[in-house]
Copies of this chain bind each other. A is one copy, B any other.
Amino acid sequence: MPYRAPLNDYRFIFENVVGFSRVAETERFAEATPELVEQILTEAARLSEEVIAPLNWPGDRNPAKLENGVVRTSPGFGDGYKAIAEGGWVGMAANPDHGGMGLPMAVTTAVNEMLSSACLSLQLCPLLSQGQIEALEHHASDELKALYLPKLTSGEWSGTMNLTEPQAGSDVGALRTKAEPQEDGSYRITGQKIYITWGDADFLPNVVHLVLARLPDAPAGTKGISLFLVPKYLPNEAGEPGEQNDLRVVSLEEKMGIHASPTCVMEFDGATGWLVGGPNKGMAAMFTMMNNARLGVGAQGIGVGERAYQHAVAYAMDRVQGKASGSGAIVEHADVRRMLTQMKADLFAARSIALMNAVAIDMAAATGEAGWKARAALLTPITKVFGTETGVQVAHEGVQIHGGMGFVEETGAAQFSRDARITPIYEGTNGIQAMDLVARKMMDGGEAAFSLIDEIQSQAEEARASHEALAQKVWEATEALRETTEWLAEQEMQDRFAGAVPYLYAFARVLGGAAHLRAAQKGDAARGAFAAFYIDRLLPEHRALLAQARAGAKGLYSISLDDLTAA
């Protein structure tokens, strides 16, 4: 099944839903003219469709393997990676001083979505480099920047992130890897890290690890964590890979999906590294990297979902069964139609939220305004959760539309479902994202949320003239969200946490409603029909979600552990 990049959707959302023109009007992104954006998106679409998409299924069937310490990658992945790097896509958002394109995050997000549709396993490699580039730009010394950023930006070398240890997953503060200062200003890093995505690859001349570790006598917990740059090969005087560092891939995990992405257990055995950011300032650097990575993971969910959708709709138009009208294909059955329409309507909502988030990041970067920063921070966990859950749900329905063929690996539908499954887990589980939303992102008393809610309601007011019924439904749902937000902001943390996930989903449903309403106003009849579907059939879910959000923790803790384990 060929993949077709949803370019019309990007164009429409950029222009009509998220107001990308504001970004292009800033000095910082003045070069991102409509012509350039069009050219960038078209080129990324071509690469994704023609070069990367064909690698996806063979990659699942031929996972990355560890052979005598070397990570042997899936067929064609070396060439695919090279095409991504040579197109400049690794450094598309990076600083032009080091060879980057300096593109807005909105454009980067669309490109990342397309590459994820094409091949999630491969796309992870440049995505991690993007995060590392950003962390180094913000926190590394000029010397490290000069040595590493050009190689990372060009994609010649790739970057990884080494956080997790067996006892320290979501609880990063529990990590134990040690860093001992050396006389020459470097550090010796010793410890084991797990879940290191693209920890190594046979097509990469060098891999640069960012490793969280503890200095001697560092305070306990997250306050005693520092970040180190640890390359596989130490650069020689010419800046090329020289002596091998004391680190190695011990094993690869066998996973449910993304088989072609090597997930490494890394052993650092007194490896040489350099401090990035100040001593004990590792968490700040890590958050820089993770914040945009969360948007990237949201885009991954949407990307896998988009491809699963295209796979399913093609099957539904081809498969003749039963007494459907018209062509006789199952796409004529009302229930199949319902599933497909929901899949596409949800993808549009998730994509709009992700791009709204990206525009806020761009505006914050371009203007430095606190309001945009707060908007971006508020939207990030929502994008991550709703993008990834939409990906999982759409891929699930994609399997269902295939019937028995969906459960058979040969069809490819199952792969999308297995691949998408990682996205609600990594880069902070979706539960942790929701806790972030109701805790850190409400330390302003809900100000950022209320500002967005006000904006949606103004938009709904404006839409009444042409779409009264839809506008009213969006207005009311937004008002219900406001009331629950006011209530939440006054609760103890435990009560917020008990309803955090349903609250986040309700917020996403409302944002999706706003995006669809805008599409109905600005788009053709088909956009209006999808908007009506979403607002009439899916938006009503917000009520039950908000009821859950307000139910509090007391009822949960009235059930004891013995009650939970009674059989």
Contacts and interface: CB of A to CB of B under 8 A. Distances in A.
Interface of A: 4-9, 164, 167-171, 174, 194-195, 253-257, 263, 310, 313-314, 317, 320-322, 331, 333-341, 344, 392, 396, 399-400, 403-410, 414, 417-418, 421-422, 424-426, 429-431, 434-435, 494, 497-498, 500-502, 525-526, 529-530, 532-533, 536-538, 540-541, 543-544, 547-548, 551, 553, 555-561, 563-567
Summarize A's interface: helix, strand, loop or mixed: helix
Given A195-B404, A331-B561, A333-B431, 18 more contacts: A167-B320, A253-B408, A255-B414, A256-B409, A256-B417, A313-B564, A331-B564, A334-B494, A337-B553, A338-B498, A339-B431, A341-B559, A399-B421, A526-B559, A529-B559, A529-B563, A536-B555, A540-B543
A6 B335 contact: no
26 contacts: A4-B567, A164-B404, A168-B321, A174-B321, A255-B409, A255-B414, A310-B565, A310-B567, A336-B431, A339-B431, A340-B564, A344-B564, A400-B431, A403-B429, A404-B425, A407-B425, A525-B558, A526-B559, A526-B560, A529-B555, A533-B555, A533-B559, A538-B544, A540-B544, A540-B548, A543-B543
A250 to B, nearest CB: 14
Contacts of A314: 565
B400 A425 contact: yes
Nearest to A317: B561
A335 B400 contact: no
Given A171-B322, A335-B431, A400-B425, A532 B555 contact: yes
A493 to B, nearest CB: 9
Contacts of A339: 431
Contacts of A317: 561, 565
A396 B501 CA distance: 15
Contacts of A392: 396
A526 B335 contact: no
A148 to B, nearest CB: 27
A541 B543 CA distance: 8
Nearest to A253: B408
A79 B305 CA distance: 42
A567 B5 contact: yes
A442 to B, nearest CB: 15
Given A5-B567, A529-B559, A540-B543, A410 B257 contact: no
Contact of A335 (B254, B426, B500): B500
Nearest to A536: B551
A334 B256 contact: no
Given A533-B555, A555-B529, A8 B567 contact: yes
A423 B333 CA distance: 21
A340 B559 CA distance: 11
Contact of A566 (B421, B498, B526): B526
A553 B547 CA distance: 29
Contact of A333 (B168, B322, B497, B547): B497
